[in-house]
Amino acid sequence: MTTTLDKTVLDMTAMELREVNTTLQAAAKAQANAAFEIINPRGSHAMACGLDGPLDVTIKGSTGYYCAGMNKDATVTVEGSAGPGVAENMMSGVVTIEGDASQYAGATGHGGLLNIKGNASSRCGISMKGIDIVVHGNIGHMSAFMAQSGNLVVLGDAGDALGDSLYEARLFVRGNVKSLGADCIKKEMRPEHIEILKELLEKAGADAKPEEFTRYGSARKLYNFNIDHADEY
């Protein structure tokens, strides 16, 4: 562990993952607003997860499964790509991925901002529950499946079955959508949506105009049982 003027450097070639996470979690709990830099992450799993206080963590390289999971109040930046399940069940704070994110990024997230500068693959924002996700590139298939609330903003294209079985999350896509999932429809962009989007794009440092996006949301046809479909069962 090396402490420079303003940040503590943790080297994963010299420390075990558990030691790194324990150090970060203790600093988060101390509410000291400290800054950490993790070097040589070597694609390790579960890095910087379970942080529940203000903390600034920069990971210099790519990470494996479940990085920054359950994040609360902390700011985690991955200067590389992230493996499956990044920022899973995030509560608040900011998680930034400079590269790409693998499948189910931000899954079940309750709050905070997940800012992905590259592409996100399949199932991005699956079952999201209030998190804001901004993807500067494209997203893969089955994204926002059963998404309940929050905003998913995509500057590029979306894959197949976007927003399948969607609840009340808002989806904003600038590029093409390969196909929409069941009960997901194109919706009118009203002034309040332009406002939400403007704020999110600014927060994420995204170079795009809110007017360029299309909003998608739930048709709310799956909310109640339709008696005309009784024969289907």
Residues that bind other proteins (CB under 8 A): 42-45, 61-65, 81, 83-84, 99-100, 102-103, 121-122, 140-141
> What minimum distance in Å lies between the beta carbon of 121 and other proteins?
5
Handedness of CA 63, 47, 124, 56 (dihedral sign): negative
**Which tokens sit at 51?**
């942080």
* DSSP single-letter state for residue 101: B
Phi, psi at 25, each rounded to 5°? -65, -35
27 vs 76 by CB, closer to other proteins? 76
58 vs 103 by CB, closer to other proteins? 103
Instruction: Find the farthest-apart pair of alpha carbons in the chain and give their distance in angstroms, rounded.
Output: 70
**Which tokens sit at 73?**
């109040």
> What minimum distance in Å lies between the beta carbon of 68 and other proteins?
16
> What minimum distance in Å lies between the beta carbon of 145 and other proteins?
12
> What minimum distance in Å lies between the beta carbon of 100 and other proteins?
7
**d(Cα 41, Cα 219) in Å, to the nearest integer?**
43
28 vs 126 by CB, closer to other proteins? 126
> What minimum distance in Å lies between the beta carbon of 99 and other proteins?
7
> What minimum distance in Å lies between the beta carbon of 67 and other proteins?
11
**d(Cα 115, Cα 227) in Å, to the nearest integer?**
42
H helices present in the chain, as ranges: 17-29, 191-203
**d(Cα 106, Cα 95) in Å, to the nearest integer?**
10
End-to-end CA distance of the chain: 61
